[in-house]
Structure 1
Amino acid sequence: MLVPLLRKRYTAMLEIYLVEDNASEAVVDVWMLKLLDRLPVIPLPLRQPDPDVPLDLAAVLNAIYDEAAYNLSIDYRQVPPPPLSKSDNLWLENLIVPLREE
């Protein structure tokens, strides 16, 4: 959960997930992303002695989107919440134009 100060500053951040390595509970990695940034590949910790495995969050999100057929249930003509900045809104408009034509 975001602390109140961060919640006000990062209104477009909807969810936060923590991937924690039990061997070093006091150490966490944080990825701060803007809407236009590609989701990162993060190390997914496994139990020792196995090494971390890379998890491509963008690939996972794209696969889930395709598998769940969200393109059939999301009305891309509607303005998405939360409100976006002008530059983010322009980026989004260019991104979803092909989706509106499907």
Structure 2
Amino acid sequence: MTSDVNQECRFFVSYSGVKLPFNLVNPIPAEGLSHRNTFIRAYFSKAGTLSGFDKVVYGEVELSHRYEYHDNGVLRRAEIVMLDEEPAELIFDNAAGPMKVAGIAGQEGS
């Protein structure tokens, strides 16, 4: 997955939708984080594309998404990690159709 280094980091209250990549909503200025127990820390490429986010709850990362895209801008791969669960990988064709769902450690599923 793409490294979060050298990417723009922005903060949000939450996300909406069920389709990947999630839609992040209600931006928060960095100086407003001290008043929040839960927030989304999002990473954007230099072109402004969402490359991933972490849902932070009471200082711990509860959920992480990392995204890769096809050359046409359509989601190609999503890596999803939830606290206390096995990581999952979703692969999409260049028309955003699901191709494969697998555990990161190679456990196949669908």
TM-score by length of 2: 0.27
Q: Which structure exhibits the higher relative contact order, with contacts defined as CA atoms closer than 8 Å and separated by 6 or more residues?
A: 1
Structure with the largest fraction of helix? 1
Structure with the largest fraction of strand? 2
Q: Larger Cα Rg: Structure 1 or Structure 2?
A: 1
